[in-house]
Chain A
Amino acid sequence: MKSLGSIRRDFAPWNDPNAKPYIQFDNVTKKFGDFTAVNNLSLTIFEREFFALLGASGCGKSTLLRMLAGFEEPTSGRILLDGQDLRGIPPYRRPVNMMFQSYALFPHMTVENNIAFGLKQEGMPKPDIEKRVAEMLKLVKLEQFAKRKPHQLSGGQRQRVALARSVAKRPKVLLLDEPLGALDKKLREETQFELMDLQQELGLTFVVVTHDQEEAMTMADRIAIMDKGEVMQVATPAEVYEAPASRFVAHFVGNVNMFEGKVAERSANTTRITGASGAQIVVENGGAAAAPNADIVFAIRPEKIKVSSKKPADAVNALEGEVYDVAYLGDMTVYHIRLDDGQIVRASALNAARVTEDPLTWNDRAWVSFRPDAGVVLAR
């Protein structure tokens, strides 16, 4: 499989076999009574990486973060940070800091004192604390709010205070638990880029927990997609999207069309798939899942499917159907096509030219076509 680049140029320690892992989860299991929150999980995170743990609620991502912070101890397995086993080290002695989902700002302290709290615990000399607090306030652009109490701030400002407080001690690793969850959409988008800039500027390792795939895709160098306490795939955002490792990952990230079928023929470069209702699909290099006669799923993203009113002459893969639904979204149009075998295919077309007339509308006959390299073959 071709390797896809990271969102940062020249930063891909995970491809370097000699790179030393910074955070290492070794066969970590965490049980709460009968419930297994994290199940025999192994994961490595590299220094200065922006790492995202993505999954639905209850998938164990927050437990993983809390184990790293020291609020929970693994039931079995070990966690290493920079070569040091973290077992038994209480949260107040770990060189990691956390930004809480609820922000957890101390309501009886001013913004200034909230930020200075960790530095005072460290026993940093007073002039240095003042300097560092001023620096942090400047970093999050809250200079004029230093003397305010948390309840006198807006949600976005509180989020910045929480961020400033958690990076003030210059931790080896910053843990962020749904850092943007409480912000409205517009503010969230702005803050995503600010967080990325901040991480670059401070040169810290960030581990962020989120259930928002867009957030993870935008910010992270690599994403770990989790389900039921296990990691389903760890890869760059592009790899996760373009080359999902499993049906679950393909479904979880973005929209996808799935064709169930059987591998009919496999040659050096191409694999021919027979769909459940007899449709023939030709795929370039099907990957490991495409063993002859194997039951597989062919997954393809909507934007990689072309919709046309006539059968394209040069198309390798073309299936006929009827327009079932059309949604005009401005920048693109989404078509739902009901194929003649009954399956509904979602296809999206970028509106590169101004749309003045609907090329296709409800109940029109239509063809969907895609290139042999547009999708991936996954185990069923």
Chain B
Amino acid sequence: MSNIAVTDAAALPTAAKPFLTRLGAGFVNRLVIIVPYLWLLFFFLIPFVIVFKISLSQTAIAMPPYTPVLDFSDGVSGFFAGFRDLNFDNYVWLTQDALYFKAYVTSVIIAAISTVLTLIVGYPIAYGMARAPATIRPTLLMLVILPFWTSFLIRVYAWIGILKPEGLLNQLLLSLHIINQPLVILNTYTAIFIGIVYSYLPFMVLPLYSSLEKMDYSLIEAAKDLGCPPTAAFWKITFPLSLPGVIAGCLLVFIPAVGEFVIPDLLGGSQTLMIGKTLWNEFFANRDWPVSSAVAVILLLLLTVPIMLFQQAQARSQEQGK
């Protein structure tokens, strides 16, 4: 009997141990995931809920400039009573004024055109970098990243000096007798394209470079060996294999470009219409926080679509194990 008792006692900790380990491991795993989730909760979800709530409020000459404020000055019942004053009037307003619709559409179009232009400019750069001798690649990479060391705002301001009627570009073209009259570039959509392509080029070049650089050059040789001239080999092998980089680069340019405010404001002048500028005007010029919040919420929803496409593309490429 005593023998059995001893075995039981000895068996207990060994049986309990895996359970505790499992609990411990599960807890640690969950803790690791909790950290980024907490971050997103505090710095993304809660601010978004606040913005969303403001978008459902009405503008008011007060501090803060909207009602209801939803606080606990009238107790818990007062907090919940405030919910009755929330409505979707601001969203209805966005559909009634054509300005907002036009601003959204032009923003998406400008962002799309800029993205294509950035791709056209960025691809040869990334390709050249990836095919450069391995010894100078880090230097080239550094040169691409270098502009980030200067303030983005200052670099956009510098473009005013280049593009304005009496600016560097016009002076150069006039002195070379290529043109007789200064070109009007500043305060047009062209200036916005130039600004976006310039500012976002590294975001295009870096993912393209990383996908082109890891490509096995013997694939191109194999294509040539099988009778494929170099241009055809590019379109049949290099480009399809760099698609993950193309997609990543395009989304990294397109998403921030849609909501871009600084470039259209500084280079586009007052004639150009983009949603980022509209939002700024609503917020600061009109002090209409609820409408500008509604604009922001819609913008976010618009951008969620390409982000989801991006994630899908990533999941697919991960599935392929390449």
Contacts and interface: CB of A to CB of B under 8 A. Distances in A.
B97 interface: no
11 contacts: A91-B224, A92-B227, A98-B221, A100-B221, A104-B221, A106-B219, A108-B240, A117-B236, A149-B320, A165-B226, A166-B225
A121 B228 contact: yes
Interface in A91-108: 91-93, 96-98, 100, 102, 104-108
Interface of A: 69-71, 90-93, 96-98, 100, 102, 104-108, 117-118, 121-122, 149, 151, 165-166, 169
Contacts of B226: 92, 97, 117-118, 121, 165, 169
Contact of A169 (B218, B227, B240): B227
Given A107-B322, A151-B320, A151-B322, A121 B221 contact: no
A108 B224 CA distance: 17
B313 interface: no
Interface in B288-308: none
Interface of B: 216, 218-219, 221-229, 232, 236-237, 240-241, 320-322
A91 to B, nearest CB: 4
A360 B223 CA distance: 60
A121 B232 CA distance: 9
Contacts of B222: 98, 100, 104-106
B237 A92 contact: no
Most buried by A among B225, B227, B236: B225
Nearest to B320: A151
A126 B231 CA distance: 23
A107 B225 contact: no
Contacts of B241: 107-108
Nearest to A175: B225
Given A106-B237, A107-B241, A149-B320, A118 B227 contact: yes
Highest count of chain A CB atoms <10 Å: which of B226, B320, B321? B226
Contact of A102 (B218, B236, B240): B218
Contacts of A96: 225
Contact of A90 (B218, B223, B224): B224
Contacts of B229: 90, 92
Nearest to B229: A92
Contacts of A165: 226
A96 B223 CA distance: 13
Contacts of B219: 104, 106-107
B320 A122 contact: no
B234 to A, nearest CB: 13
Contacts of A97: 225-226
Contacts of A69: 221, 225
Q: Main secondary structure on chain B at its contact with chain A?
A: helix
A108 B223 CA distance: 13
Nearest to B233: A92
A104 B225 CA distance: 11
A14 to B, nearest CB: 27
A168 to B, nearest CB: 8
Which among B218, B222, B241, B321 has the greatest number of chain A C-beta atoms within 10 A?
A: B222
Given A71-B224, A106-B223, A117-B226, 15 more contacts: A71-B221, A90-B229, A91-B221, A92-B229, A93-B227, A97-B225, A98-B221, A100-B221, A100-B222, A106-B219, A106-B237, A107-B241, A108-B240, A117-B228, A149-B320
A51 B177 CA distance: 66
Nearest to A93: B227
Nearest to B221: A71
Contacts of A71: 221, 224
A96 B225 CA distance: 8
Contact of B224 (A92, A102, A166): A92
A92 B321 CA distance: 30
A104 B219 CA distance: 5
A118 B227 CA distance: 6
B231 to A, nearest CB: 11
Nearest to B222: A104
Nearest to A165: B226
A299 B178 CA distance: 81
Q: Which 3 A-B pairs have the closest CB atoms?
A: A118-B226, A121-B227, A104-B222
Nearest to B228: A121
B237 to A, nearest CB: 6
B131 to A, nearest CB: 15
A318 B224 CA distance: 60
Contacts of B225: 69-70, 91-92, 96-98, 166
Given A71-B221, A151-B320, A104 B216 contact: yes
Contacts of A149: 320
A2 to B, nearest CB: 41
Contacts of A169: 226-227
Contacts of A117: 223, 226, 228, 236
A169 B236 CA distance: 18
Contacts of A105: 222
A95 to B, nearest CB: 10
Contacts of B236: 117
B237 A122 contact: no
A108 B218 CA distance: 15
Contacts of A166: 225
Contacts of A121: 226-228, 232
A92 B221 CA distance: 9
A352 B51 CA distance: 91
B221 A102 contact: no
A166 B223 CA distance: 11
